[in-house]
Amino acid sequence: MTEQTFPELPIIGSPETEPPIPHPNRRLPRWLKRQVPKGNVNNLTSTLLEELGLETVCDNAKCPNRMECYSQKTATFMILGNVCTRSCSFCAVSRGRPEELESDEPERIAEAAERLGLKHVVITSVTRDDLSDGGGEHFYQCVKAVRERTDATVEVLTPDFIGNLAGLDRVIEAAPEVFNHNTETVPRLYRRVRGPQSDYRWTLDLLRRVKQKNPAIKTKSGLMLGLGETREELFDVFADLLDVGCDFLTLGQYLQPSTERFMPVDRYVPPEEFDELGRAAEAMGFKQVASGPFVRSSYHAREMAETE
């Protein structure tokens, strides 16, 4: 890659920046306070999802954008149940022994997408290491069902499918317009944040494989900030993602879930620093970057997916 120059930013978590806020009960900075959206559309979306018995990552992961997205009649569907087989230290989704797959789930997701009038459908899942294909066939059926009932574009946000190329390839075969797999953090913090089963190099190999199998699919990845990473480490990850052909990048603030077993926040990153990091990432070559305290993997995903 051509060597790039970037704006001078403080090292995240360095003594020169504001002190760390290690506990979620401490007062949040002003930029992390949000107004509740007005109107009843939020309830309409929630009621529809409940009627169809669908899970969303919005609810299960306690996303701070839930009410905003629901009020705009959109949601990120979470398939394969609501119990994960991994124990990541940042995620609020329940973990334990998952239940059996629901064979009619693809049709219910397609019905929800149709009734909500979605133009871009985002489908994610818990990790299912207990399944022989990691859930790859179920992802395939969900994408197929949405396409049969709507003209929406489809984005998948998948687990890592470690050791299961057949499951991963089945999702690629579905040819979603966007294939998203989050990097989450920098290599130094990987095992601490994502757990012993995860591997940074495989995350990159997964994204590379998607492009090799189907170059038309746009690939996307995201990182959480505020875990103790440095600017230099972030730029190294940006370069690694570009090397495997990653098109889109999201950068957002890590917020510790309410219970004590989750990894604490090291630092709340100011909005202006997110802006600078976003500009630097775009200068490096990403086609589109979403960077801000409330940015999440599927936040305003349709707008990003429409980038040529």
pLDDT digits (tens, 9 = 90+) for 219-240: 999 999 999 999 999 999 999 9
Range of the domain at 268: 1-33+222-308
| Sequence-ordered list of residues with C-beta below 8 angstroms from that of 300, at least 6 positions apart, any chain | 290
Which of 54, 77, 55, 131 has its CA nearest to residue 100?
A: 131
Could you give the CA distance from residue 29 to residue 125 in angstroms, rounded to a whole number?
Answer: 31
Phi/psi at 269 (5° precision): -85, 125
pLDDT of residue 226: 93
pTM for this entry: 0.85
Which of 170, 69, 166, 84 has its CA nearest to residue 125?
A: 84
Domain shared by 236 and 304, yes or no: yes
Phi/psi at 213 (5° precision): -75, -35
Residue spans of alpha helices (H) in 52-164: 57-60, 66-71, 105-116, 136-149
CB 217 within 8 A of CB 194: no
Could you give the CA distance from residue 176 to residue 9 in angstroms, rounded to a whole number?
Answer: 36
* Domain-embedded: residue 183: no
Q: Please report, in tens digits, the pLDDT of each residue of the chain (308 residues total).
A: 333 333 333 333 333 333 333 444 457 788 777 665 555 556 778 788 889 988 886 655 555 555 566 555 667 898 988 877 666 655 656 677 888 899 999 999 999 999 999 999 999 998 788 889 999 999 999 999 999 999 999 999 999 998 789 999 999 999 999 999 999 999 999 888 887 778 899 999 999 999 999 999 999 999 999 999 999 999 999 999 999 999 999 999 988 776 667 778 889 999 999 999 999 999 999 999 999 998 988 877 888 888 76
Compute the half-sphere exposure of residue 88: CA atoms within 13 Å on the CB side of its CA. Answer: 24
Domain shared by 95 and 147, yes or no: yes
Domain shared by 230 and 152, yes or no: no
- Token pair in block for residue 179: 């294939």
pLDDT of residue 54: 87
Domain shared by 44 and 29, yes or no: no
pLDDT of residue 35: 62
pLDDT digits (tens, 9 = 90+) for 96-117: 788 889 999 999 999 999 999 9
Residue 175 C-alpha from the chain's centroid: 19
Domain shared by 20 and 50, yes or no: no
CB 48 within 8 A of CB 116: yes
Domain shared by 48 and 23, yes or no: no
CB 241 within 8 A of CB 249: yes
Domain shared by 79 and 166, yes or no: yes
Domain shared by 78 and 93, yes or no: yes
